[in-house]
Amino acid sequence: MKISIGCDHIVTDIKMKVSDYLKSKGHEVIDNGTYDHVRTHYPIYGKKTAEKVVSGEADLAIVICGTGVGITTSADKVFGARAALVRDVSTATYAKKCLNANVIGMGGRISGLGLIENVIDTFLETKFEDNEENRRLIEKIDRIAEVKEGQQGNEDFFVEFIEKWNDGGYPAE
């Protein structure tokens, strides 16, 4: 696979270890920086890294900052990116299996390298469960970002989902 990666200055060393790990598993890596420890801004690298997936240059992306929060949030703002902040194999599994995440983010100051590698393995190996339920869920989430009359501030936006929830339509997974 082609994996796009990016980080901020806080976790450059960890990003390089992740890059080496991916290469050792036979993946091609597109490293979008940052490349040193000079203070910089994580949104730049979240954006660059996610854009490689959306453009089709990369299959998937991994972003890392201190907590993972800032760079993942930035990556998720790229139209077409589905970025998930993950902390363990369960969250990585859910992100790919149910939401078909194409970007995962992690906190290099939060999660240790061993866990990060396990999470990456899970993210790359888990298949999206391509069914009506998951497709509709993703579509509904994507539509939150659409600026359309009657949608922003629309109190009824989730009514059908809440009804389904109340009827036990969502698995307890």
Shortest CB 65 distance to ligand RB5, Å: 3
Shortest CB 107 distance to ligand RB5, Å: 7
Q: Which is nearer to ligand RB5, 7 or 124 (CB)?
A: 7
Shortest CB 76 distance to ligand RB5, Å: 13
Residue 7 falls in the annotated catalytic set:
no
Nearest Cα neighbor of 85 from 98, 96, 73, 77 is 73
Q: Which of 10, 18, 65, 78 is catalytic?
A: 65
Q: For residues 91 and 25, give the distance between their C-alpha atoms in angstroms, rounded to a whole number.
A: 22
Q: For residues 13 and 20, give the distance between their C-alpha atoms in angstroms, rounded to a whole number.
A: 11
Q: Which is nearer to ligand RB5, 14 or 58 (CB)?
A: 14
Q: Which is nearer to ligand RB5, 27 or 68 (CB)?
A: 68
Token couple for 140: 């509904």
Shortest CB 110 distance to ligand RB5, Å: 9
Q: For residues 165 and 150, give the distance between their C-alpha atoms in angstroms, rounded to a whole number.
A: 23
Do 67 and 109 form a contact (C-beta atoms < 8 A)? yes
In the complex, which residues of this chain contact ligand RB5 (CB under 6 A)? Answer: 8, 10, 42, 65-67, 69-70
The residue sitting closest to ligand RB5, measured at its beta carbon, is 66
Neighbours of 164 (CB within 10 A): 14
Q: Which is nearer to ligand RB5, 112 or 169 (CB)?
A: 112
Instruction: Give the chain's length.
Output: 173
- Catalytic residue positions? 65
